[in-house]
Amino acid sequence: MNATQVKAMKKAFIARVLFAIAEIDDMGGFFPSVLIAQAAIESNWGRSSLSAKYNNFFGIKAGKSWKGKTVNMKTGEVFNGKNVTISSNFRVYDSLADSIRDRNLLLRMPRYKAVEPATTPLAQAEAIRAAGYCTATNYVQSIMATIAANNLTQYDK
């Protein structure tokens, strides 16, 4: 893809996520900019198999309490500072909106109690990382860079 195609692809992805956000009953205190950046990072702008085939745009794994459909896929993780590839069970959703709803439910669990009341996108991204959402050490920087590069804070108003 050339630069023009990449820009158009990202713009279309952002529009798709914004449309799905509009379907959500309760966004609460979640910043759309952080949500969009997370979806972009976790799904490679909607191009990962997990998002394209299974509507999981946030890389949410299926733990023992998950009662819905699952798919087992390889994923990259960082353990003890080393990049490793493992197989994990991931949640399967019917739509992007369902993926967003579940992401928001997950971030309302007690371990993520600092996420929703965060007053800035940076504070929210830091709270997500601090609560153990991901293993990537540069997750906050990736979220903030994606927000900045795509002017995503315009959707937080």
Count of domains forming the chain: 1
Note down the domain range covering 109: 3-48+94-156
Give a yes or no: residue 53 inside a domain.
no
Asked whether residue 78 carries a pLDDT value surpassing 80, the answer given is no
Are 47 and 39 in contact by the 8 Å Cβ rule? The answer is: no
User: What pLDDT was estimated at residue 135?
Assistant: 81
Which amino acid appears at position 131 of this protein? A
Give a yes or no: residue 109 inside a domain.
yes
Model pLDDT for residues 116-130, shown as the tens digit of each residue = 999 999 999 999 999
Model pLDDT for residues 89-108, shown as the tens digit of each residue = 999 999 999 999 999 999 99
Give a yes or no: residue 72 inside a domain.
no
Give a yes or no: residue 86 inside a domain.
no
Give a yes or no: residue 12 inside a domain.
yes
Q: Specify the CATH number for the domain of residue 109.
A: 1.10.530.10
Give a yes or no: residue 43 inside a domain.
yes
Any idea what the Cα angle at residue 9 is, between residues 8 and 15, rounded to 5°? 90
